[in-house]
């Protein structure tokens, strides 16, 4: 295995679990998350040394694959899909609240509060300016807090 | 107000499927691209990297004109307090790796120019008097594929004379005895811990039973050698820090191996050991008690390692792996303020640093005023940590009460565990504040030693 592929494997070992969970939160569908993770790592392995900063690149491609998949399936506003994957109730409840944010707001919130990425990294993953990330984040945060308060009440 | 971070934690309970095998075998979809802006951005990054690499290449070429016979390179003046390290000028692992130095205050990176084309050098260690530099050198291909193994060399920087101490490309990680008469190093491509006299005679294996050894560091009083090894021989998934006497007797395990501890480095006064664990740097007392985190490693940082103390014990040079592991960059941590600053460009790949002793042994202790300043800074930091932890405690207690009230047993249990952890941390920090205060009252400025050290 080449050095580049070893690096991709290392990224997989360290980040795949977090990436997959973030994608479940973002897409609301474990199947979409699994497909996006496998696809992003497959592409990174195929491109080998041409990928600089494998970790950031994989996050970006995975989120892009998941977003494309959601668009294709027109899943963005529909209910959580039936899945072979058993999800705990709290996760399903949280997912249904997240679904009420716009996709970019949702991605920004998940990447910031769950994946702990800095805003510059979120900007790179979502391919927007850092200032735009701040806007998505503040709107998403406000809306989600409101939804959570409603839900708690 | 609902805590979003806390609520999103529910996703941490999900168990991800193993997708690695699928990733290796599936045919990537060609339709997914990164979009034009990203391609453009990557292009710009590539050009910037080329420029950066060319710049460093220029610095290196300027100094290393005549490589082959190693002794013929012209002497380079290395200032006291300079930090020496092996350097790959880009993130390409097979690029030539030369010994270089940078001043602790910053400035240009200067190459020694003693490494022949096709070879790599690194893992440098200064003799305690700062006159001789031990390091590992060998064919680049070999050094990179065998975890830094090569041959052991010593460069006398006053006479600019190089001597080769071993052959066979199977040693790594030298460290000097405090009197400068011996070296400890890793022998047999990581299989054993060995010592030899500084002239290359009397090579002797002192430990081999654990089957895996790395990164030895000789204590300043000469009594013990700290090293990285495995708690369970044969299982290299977990590493821990051990010490042993120079004759190979009295092995002690200092850390439990729960977070891959490694890269031990004794402080100049011998009371602390800096090391790497769970992606960042820590210190502990020389008996393994009182672990205390030193750095915060958040993206783009992925791993801090290879600590090397400044001669006055007030700073630590270390390597920070950034950009998903692609770049290894030299940083200096100010122990007084807790601030870190980079010393090399991001595109470079640096090897573990070695801080040159500034003055002969004996006059190397920090002044009382420096110690008092450092103690005051540590006190302020510890108090800030305490304030923060009290807030965390308050929040966790609220979470706990809420979980109990709403019958969410799992959440309550978890909050309870976090509360216990925070309480322990608060007790430890309080003890630290008390110890710093006592030392300030005694006028030493140096926190009192941990029990047993």
Tell me if B149 sits within 8 A of B172, measured CB to CB.
Answer: yes
State the pLDDT at residue B126: 95
Q: Cα angle at B60 between B56 and B64, to 5 degrees?
A: 170
Q: What are the CA-CA distances from residue B265 to residues B125, B241, B250, B313 (Å)?
A: 11, 10, 19, 11
Residue partners of B133: CB distance under 8 A and separation at least 6: B84, B99, B124, B125, B126, B127, B154, B155, B157, B354
State the pLDDT at residue B107: 85
Using a CB-CB cut-off of 8 Å, the residues of chain A touching B14 are: 20-21, 24, 30, 87-88, 91
| DSSP-assigned beta bridge partners for residue B184 | B175, B195
**Side-by-side strand order, sheet with B132-139:** B119-126, B132-139, B151-156, B161-164
Q: Do B19 and A38 touch (CB under 8 A)?
A: yes
Q: Which of A24, A37, A116 faces B19 most closely, judged by CB atoms?
A: A37
**A62 → chain B, closest CA residue:** B32
State the pLDDT at residue B11: 92
- The 3 state secondary structure assigned to chain A is CCHHHHHHHHHHHHHHHHHHHHHHHHHCCHHHHHHHHHHHHHHHHHHHHHCCCHHHHHHHHHHHHHHHHHHHHCCCCCCCCCCCCCCCHHHHHHHHHHCCCCHHHHHHHHHHHHCCCCHHHHHHHHCCCHHHHHHHHHHHHHHHHHHHHHHHC
Residue partners of B28: CB distance under 8 A and separation at least 6: A39, A42, A43, A46
CATH code for the structural domain at B49-361:
2.120.10.30
Q: How many domains does chain A have?
A: 1
Residues A106-118: what's their mean pLDDT?
A: 92
**Ranges in chain B, pLDDT < 50:** 31-72, 91-94, 360-364, 445, 447-453
CA dist., res. A148 & res. B281, Å (int): 38
State the pLDDT at residue B246: 96
Q: Predicted ipTM?
A: 0.90
Calculate how close chain A gets to B94, using CA atoms only, in Å.
10
More confident residue, A15 or B44: A15
Among B5, B15, B16, B88, the strongest candidate for a mutation testing the A interface, having the largest count of A CBs within 10 A, is B16
State the pLDDT at residue B139: 80
* Whole-prediction pTM: 0.51
State the pLDDT at residue B391: 81
Q: Which domain holds residue A148?
A: 3-152
What SS3 class is residue B195?
A: strand
Q: Do A22 and B11 touch (CB under 8 A)?
A: yes
B25, burial (CB in 10 Å: exposed 0-12, middle 13-18, buried 19+): exposed
Chain A, chain B: beta-carbon pairs less than 8 Å apart: 134
How many residues in chain B? 453
Q: Do B28 and A68 touch (CB under 8 A)?
A: no
Averaged pLDDT score across all residues of chain A: 84
Handedness of CA B53, B55, B57, B59 (dihedral sign): negative
More confident residue, A8 or B69: A8
Using a CB-CB cut-off of 8 Å, the residues of chain A touching B325 are: 7, 10-11, 54-55
Q: Cα angle at B311 between B310 and B317, to 5 degrees?
A: 10
**A69 → chain B, closest CA residue:** B32
Tell me if B422 sits within 8 A of B412, measured CB to CB.
Answer: no
Q: Which of A16, A60, A145 faces B19 most closely, judged by CB atoms?
A: A16
State the pLDDT at residue A17: 93
pLDDT in tens, A24-68: 999 988 888 998 999 999 989 888 777 778 888 899 999 988 888
Interface of B with A (CB under 8 A): 1-2, 4-5, 7-8, 10-14, 16-17, 19-20, 22-24, 26-29, 32, 34-35, 37-38, 42, 45-46, 49, 91, 93, 298-300, 302, 323-326
**A66 → chain B, closest CA residue:** B32
The yes-or-no verdict on residue A146 having pLDDT over 50 is yes
Specify the CATH number for the domain of residue A133: 1.20.140.160
State the pLDDT at residue B90: 55
Residue partners of B398: CB distance under 8 A and separation at least 6: none
**Side-by-side strand order, sheet with B292-293:** B262-266, B272-277, B280-285, B292-293
State the pLDDT at residue B290: 92
């Amino acid at each position: 295995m080449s050095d580049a592929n070893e690096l991709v494997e290392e990224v997989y070992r360290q980040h795949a679990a977090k990436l997959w969970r973030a994608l479940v939160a973002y897409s609301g569908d474990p199947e979409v998350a699994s497909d996006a993770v496998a696809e992003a790592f497959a592409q990174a392995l195929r491109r080998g040394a041409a990928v600089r900063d494998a970790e950031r690149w994989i996050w970006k491609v995975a989120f892009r694959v998941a977003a494309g998949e959601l668009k294709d399936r027109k899943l963005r506003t529909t209910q959580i899909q039936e899945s072979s994957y058993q999800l705990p109730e709290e996760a399903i409840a949280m997912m249904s609240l997240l679904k009420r944010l716009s996709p970019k707001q949702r991605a920004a919130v998940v990447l910031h509060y769950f994946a702990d990425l800095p805003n510059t990294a979120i900007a790179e993953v979502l391919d927007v300016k850092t200032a735009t990330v701040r806007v998505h984040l503040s709107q998403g945060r406000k809306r989600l807090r409101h939804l959570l308060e409603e839900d708690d009440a | 107000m609902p805590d979003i971070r806390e609520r999103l934690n529910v996703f941490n309970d999900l168990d991800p499927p193993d997708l690695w095998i699928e990733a290796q075998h599936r045919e990537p979809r060609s339709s997914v691209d990164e979009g034009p802006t990203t391609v453009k951005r990557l292009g710009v990054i590539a050009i910037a990297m080329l420029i950066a690499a060319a710049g460093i290449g220029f610095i290196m070429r300027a100094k290393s004109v005549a490589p082959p016979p190693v002794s013929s390179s012209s002497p380079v003046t290395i200032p006291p307090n300079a930090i020496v390290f092996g350097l790959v000028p880009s993130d390409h692992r097979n690029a030539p790796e030369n010994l270089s130095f940078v001043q602790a205050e910053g400035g240009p990176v200067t190459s020694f120019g003693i490494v022949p084309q096709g070879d790599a050098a690194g893992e440098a260690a200064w003799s305690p008097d700062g006159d001789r530099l031990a390091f590992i050198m060998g064919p680049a291909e070999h050094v990179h594929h065998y975890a830094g193994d090569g041959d052991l060399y010593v460069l006398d920087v006053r006479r600019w004379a190089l001597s080769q101490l071993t052959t066979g490309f199977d040693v790594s990680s030298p460290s000097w005895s405090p009197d400068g008469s011996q070296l400890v190093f890793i022998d047999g491509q990581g299989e054993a811990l060995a010592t030899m006299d500084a002239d290359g005679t009397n090579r002797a294996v002192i430990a081999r039973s654990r089957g895996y050894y790395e990164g030895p560091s000789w204590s300043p009083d000469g009594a013990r050698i700290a090293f990285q090894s495995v708690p369970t021989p044969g299982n290299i998934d977990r590493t821990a820090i051990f010490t042993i006497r120079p004759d190979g007797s009295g092995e002690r395990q200092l850390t439990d191996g729960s977070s891959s501890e490694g890269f031990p480095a004794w402080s100049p006064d011998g009371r602390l050991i800096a090391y790497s664990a769970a992606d960042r740097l820590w210190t502990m007392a020389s008996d393994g008690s009182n672990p205390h985190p030193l750095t915060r490693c958040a993206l783009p940082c992925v791993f801090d390692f290879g600590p090397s103390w400044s001669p006055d014990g007030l700073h630590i040079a270390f390597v920070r792996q950034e950009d998903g592991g692609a770049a290894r960059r030299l940083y200096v941590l100010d122990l007084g303020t807790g601030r870190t600053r980079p010393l090399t460009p991001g595109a470079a790949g640096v090897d573990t640093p070695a801080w040159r002793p500034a003055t002969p042994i004996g006059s190397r202790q920090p002044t009382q005023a420096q110690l008092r300043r450092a103690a005051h800074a540590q006190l302020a930091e510890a108090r800030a940590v305490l304030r923060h932890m009290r807030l965390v405690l308050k929040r966790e207690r609220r979470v706990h009460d809420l979980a109990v009230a709403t019958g969410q047993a799992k959440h309550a249990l978890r909050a309870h565990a976090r509360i216990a952890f925070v309480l322990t941390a608060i007790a430890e920090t309080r003890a630290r504040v008390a110890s710093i205060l006592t030392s300030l009252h005694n006028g030493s400025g140096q926190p009192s030693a941990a029990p047993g050290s």
